[in-house]
Amino acid sequence: MANSLFAYGSNPAEVTTVILACMDRRLNEEVDRMNEGNAVILRNAGANVMSAEGAIREAIDAYPNIRKIMLVPHLDCGAMGLVSSTILEGKQADNRVYNDLIAQFKGKFKTRKGLEEDVNPAIQMNALKEIIGDRPIMLQSLRLNPAGLVLPADGHPHSLVVVRPSQSHYRFLFDDVNHSLGEDKIGMGSTYVVQPADSSSIRIAVENLNIRQVVFFAESHKDADASRKAAKELQSKDFAKDATILVAERGKVKLRG
């Protein structure tokens, strides 16, 4: 797995489950509860299989004992709000975001409620079925309602962490990120997560969800150059001009912007 998308230290023999969840901060603790130490986690805007397809296929190839893929979309989803406003109200969206996320829903829903409750889960499950083919992998969809979740009041401003997919629980991952930053900047109830890096999801977080702090977390020195390159590219975008962009590498931090 030298060139893998996945975090170093992942044990292929232990992984039996892939969890694809929306990047929303309100799902962090619930995803942690789902992860019994045997799951590799993917996160993006809307639990979108199209954006995660490469990572899902790599996971199936890299982890020979995978027997389940869990899809975790949710109600009151910012990404689905963007889909709804673009298709139903004619609002403009970035071309790449449109192609990566929005286009698959065109003509398939009439209300945002129907989109979130039925259409998005159905479209994503059908896409997963195409990916797994005849492999003996069980698919499970668990649509969450954030209104029923108890969120920790950590007092942090909303942030986005971009990191490789891994088996790590977020309570440990966020501790590692804060340690690398040298201060307590992110928390369980305030941090959106994108795993692996996905430009459309990052744009949605910054442009549509008004995230003003983005941390690219390099889990090893080997990842640091790619993280710095991604941070530099984001800083060059007009939509990110007001964002603070950090690159953290196990005890080191570089501020851009």
Query: Residue 94 corresponds to which tokens in the numbers above?
Result: 């970035």
Contact status, residue 56 vs residue 49, Cβ threshold 8 Å: yes
The residues, any chain, with a CB within 8 Å of residue 195's CB and separated by 6 or more, are 41, 42, 43, 44, 162, 163, 164, 165, 166
Q: Which pLDDT score, from 0 to 100, does residue 213 have?
A: 96
Tell me the helix, strand and coil percentages in the chain, rounded to 5: 45, 20, 40
pLDDT at 13 over 90: no
- Model confidence over 125-134: pLDDT tens digits? 999 999 999 9
The band of 8, judged by pLDDT with boundaries at 50, 70 and 90, is: low
Q: Where is pLDDT greater, at 29 or 3?
A: 29
The band of 234, judged by pLDDT with boundaries at 50, 70 and 90, is: very high
Q: Which pLDDT score, from 0 to 100, does residue 222 have?
A: 81
Q: What is the mean pLDDT of residues 233-244?
A: 96
Contact status, residue 97 vs residue 204, Cβ threshold 8 Å: yes
Residue corresponding to tokens 């009041």:
153
For residue 153, count CB atoms less than 10 angstroms from its CB and return exposed for 0-12, middle for 13-18, buried for 19 or more: exposed
- Model confidence over 147-180: pLDDT tens digits? 888 777 777 889 999 999 988 999 999 999 999 9
Instruction: Please state the pTM of the whole predicted model.
Output: 0.93
The residues, any chain, with a CB within 8 Å of residue 77's CB and separated by 6 or more, are 22, 24, 46, 116, 120
Q: Which pLDDT score, from 0 to 100, does residue 1 have?
A: 42
Instruction: Look over the chain and give the mean of its residue pLDDT values, rounded to a whole number.
Output: 92
Contact status, residue 15 vs residue 63, Cβ threshold 8 Å: yes
Q: Which pLDDT score, from 0 to 100, does residue 199 have?
A: 97
Residue corresponding to tokens 């340690």:
179
The band of 220, judged by pLDDT with boundaries at 50, 70 and 90, is: confident
The residues, any chain, with a CB within 8 Å of residue 225's CB and separated by 6 or more, are none
- Model confidence over 62-95: pLDDT tens digits? 899 999 999 999 999 999 999 999 999 999 999 9
Taking CA atoms, 244 is separated from 42, 213, 241, in Å, by: 24, 5, 8
The band of 257, judged by pLDDT with boundaries at 50, 70 and 90, is: very low
According to DSSP, residue 5 is labeled S
Q: Which pLDDT score, from 0 to 100, does residue 4 have?
A: 64
Q: What percent of the chain has pLDDT over 90?
A: 80
Alpha carbons 227 and 216: distance in angstroms, whole number: 6
The residues, any chain, with a CB within 8 Å of residue 55's CB and separated by 6 or more, are 5, 42, 165, 196
According to DSSP, residue 160 is labeled E
